[in-house]
Structure 1
C-alpha cells in the first residue's frame, strides 16, 4: 500500500541483520501479562486534587474521566479523521507537511521511523504528525480534523493547566508559573499511527522514553500496546474509551525535585491491527528556566528548556535515543 512508510526498504540492512538474531527477549515481548492498575480519577469529585497528587507521586501516570471532551469527538478522531490523513499516499504526507504554512512553527510536520537508527533497538515502527497549536488553523485541506483538533487542544490545554497548578502548588511553585510560561504557542499535538509490523517481536512501536514536557495528555484507541515501567517491570495499560491518560514529564520531575515521577514508557509494535493515538504535550517556551522549588537539596541543576531540548537532540543524533534528566543531575 502506497500510504505505508517504506520501513522494509529503508531499513533493509538492519532487518537482514536481525534475521540472524533472536527476538528482543526482555525488551519487547517479555513483560507482565497483567495490566497495571493505573489510578482512575473522576475529576468532578471533591477529592480529585488529592488523588491527582498521589498518582503523580506514586505512579507518574493516571487516567481521568469526566474530562469534558465529547466522546463523539474522540471517536471521530480515532475512527475517521486520523485514518483519513494517515492513509494518504506516503509522498503526499511528506510533501504537504500536513499544514500549509510552517513559517511560525518549523517543527510541525510529518515524521516516521528514526533517521539515526543503527540497530533495530533504535527503530520506532510508527509515523506521526507533529502540530504546534498555532498551525492547526492552517489545515485547510482537513476541515473536520482541524475542527476536532482545535477543540481537543483547547480542552486539553485547560486540563493540563488545571492539573499543573494543582501539582505545582503542592511543591511550592508560584501559582502564575504555568500561565506565564506554558502558552498556547509553546505546546503541541502529536498524531500517532502504528502500522502493522511484520517483525513485531524485533522492534518497538515507540522506543522506551520519558516525555520532554511538564505533562502529557493522551487519548488512544482500543488496540492497546502502551506500557509503563513499574517496579522494574514493564506492564501494559488497558485502554479506557471514556478516559484520558495523563503522565508526568521530565520537566515536572525536575521542578518538583523528584517528588513527581516521569516514568519511562513504550509502545509495542503492532502485530495484527494498526493503532492510533493523539497526544497533547504541555510544554513551556524555550527560555523558561526549570529549577527545583522545594527547600531540600536539589537533585538537578538549573537549566532552560532550550538546553534540555538541545541536549536531547544531540543524544538522539549520536546515541539513537535521548537520555533525559540524567544529563542534568548534580
Structure 2
C-alpha cells in the first residue's frame, strides 16, 4: 500500500479509502479497475459570439450546432463566452486560498454557511467514494450579510462576479436550445427555464487533491446532473470523462473555453431530444485539480414542464425530483433519476 501523508488542510480521504478497501477485502470485493486509459476527445466547440452578435443566418447555424451537440454528446464547449480569463484565474486563486484552510475550519458549519462537502460520507464501497472536496453554495447566500467568509474577504466579490457571468452564459445557451425546439422565450414572459433566478441556482467550487490511489478511484463518482444546465470552468490538469457511445472518453481541456452540459431537467423538458449524459472525474496521482460549476436550477416548487405534448414523463416539480434522488441514493447507494418519472414507470 503506498504511503500517503495528508496536510492539515486535506480532508481524511485516505482514511475513508482504506476503511472501504478493508471492508471490500473482508467481503471479497475487488477494487474497481475503471481507472484504465481511455480515449481523449475534444468536445464540439460553439462560438457564442455568433449567437449573440451574428446575423440571422449565423445565429441559426450556431443554435443548430449547439442543439446537435446537446443531442449527440450532452456536452459541448463554448468560446467567446464573455467570461474573462482574468476573472477565472482570480477565481482559481481564491479557490486555492479557500481550500488551503485547515480542514477543521472548512468543516465548521460557520464557514460559507455550512456548504462544505468532502468525500462521500454514505459510501459503502469504493465504487461510491469521491476523492474530492467542495463548497456547494446557493447563490442567494453569497451576498447575504450573515454568510461567513472568515478572513477571505475578497472571496465574496469574486464569487458573485463569476456567478453573474456564468448565469448569463447559461441563460443564453438555454434560451437558444429551447428555441430549436420551438419555444420562444418572449412568448413566456422572457424567462426560461421557468422558476430559475439568482435565488435558486448554485455555484460549486471543487478541489480534487492528488490521489496516491488514483488507479480505480473516482474524483467524483459517475452521475448525471439534476439541474437544467451546468456551466463548468476547469483548469488544465484534466480528469473529466463522459459516456459517449457506451464507452468512457476523456475530455481534453481547453484554456479559453467553458464546458456546458445538459442536466436531467432539460432532458425531461425536451422530451429526451437533449441528453443528460453520465460523467465522472478521475483524480490525478501527482497534481490537484480545481473547477467551478454553475448549476441552473429552478425553485423546488417549480414544475419542470415540457416543450410539447405528449411527454414521456409525468408532471413533477424540482423538489419532487431532488427528494426522490436522495431517497434512492440512501436506499440503493446510487441515483436512479429520470426513469422514476416515466409515465409507464411503476415507481
Q: Which secondary structure state, in structure 2, belongs to the residue aligned with residue 143 of structure 1?
A: coil
Name the stretch that deviates more: 308-317 or 244-253.
Answer: 308-317
Task: Return the match for 1:244 from 215, 237, 258.
Answer: 258
Give the CA deviation at 1:89: 0.5
- 1:122 matched residue in structure 2: 128
Structure 1 contact 205–269 (Cα < 8 Å) conserved: yes
1:316 aligns with 2:329: yes
Give the CA deviation at 1:222: 0.5
1:29 aligns with 2:38: no
Give the CA deviation at 1:291: 2.8
- 1:151 matched residue in structure 2: 161
1:168 aligns with 2:181: no
1:226 aligns with 2:231: no
Give the CA deviation at 1:167: 1.2
Distance 1:252 1:152 in 2: 23
- 1:82 matched residue in structure 2: 95
Distance 2:242 2:193 in 1: 29
Structure 1 contact 98–129 (Cα < 8 Å) conserved: no
Output one character per residue of 1:187-238: Cα deviation in whole Å (capped at 9) or x when no partner.
0000001111222223211010110110000000110000010000000001
- The total of aligned residue pairs comes to 318
- 2:54 matched residue in structure 1: none
- 1:105 matched residue in structure 2: none
Structure 2 contact 300–318 (Cα < 8 Å) conserved: yes
- 2:53 matched residue in structure 1: none
| Deviation beyond 6 Å, 4+ runs, structure 1 | none
Q: Which secondary structure state, in structure 1, belongs to the residue aligned with residue 204 of structure 2?
A: strand
Q: In terms of Rg, which structure is larger?
A: 2
Q: Which secondary structure state, in structure 2, belongs to the residue aligned with residue 300 of structure 1?
A: coil
Structure-1-length-normalised TM-score? 0.91
Q: Which secondary structure state, in structure 2, belongs to the residue aligned with residue 289 of structure 1?
A: coil
Unaligned 5+ residue runs, structure 1?
A: 103-107
Unaligned 5+ residue runs, structure 2?
A: 1-6, 51-57
Give the CA deviation at 1:174: 5.2
Give the CA deviation at 1:85: 0.4
Give the CA deviation at 1:290: 1.6
- 1:300 matched residue in structure 2: 313
Task: Return the match for 1:93 from 102, 106, 112.
Answer: 106
Over the aligned positions, Cα root-mean-square deviation in angstroms equals 1.8
Structure 1 contact 139–146 (Cα < 8 Å) conserved: no
Output one character per residue of 1:230-255: Cα deviation in whole Å (capped at 9) or x when no partner.
00000000111100000000000000
Distance 1:117 1:179 in 2: 33
Distance 1:117 1:243 in 2: 33
Structure 1 contact 215–282 (Cα < 8 Å) conserved: yes
